[in-house]
Amino acid sequence: MSSNLKSSELITLYITDKEPTKSIEIKECTFNNNKGSISGVIHYKFYATTNSASSNQNIYGLLVKDCKFKSNTGSSKGGAIGIEIMNVEPSNPIEIKGCIFDSNKAI
pLDDT digits 0-9 by tens, 17-66: 778 888 999 999 999 999 888 888 999 988 877 766 566 667 888 999 99
Calpha distance 10→36 (Å, rounded): 8
Cβ contact 38:75 at 8 Å:
yes
Q: Name the DSSP class of 72.
A: -
The amino acid sitting at 88 is V
Q: Could you tell me which residues come within 8 angstroms of residue 45 by beta carbon, excluding any fewer than 6 positions away?
A: 13, 14, 15, 83, 84, 86
Q: Name the DSSP class of 58.
A: T
The tens digit of pLDDT for each residue in 63-85 reads 999 999 999 998 888 899 999 98
More confident residue, 9 or 33: 33
Q: Specify the pLDDT at position 31.
A: 94
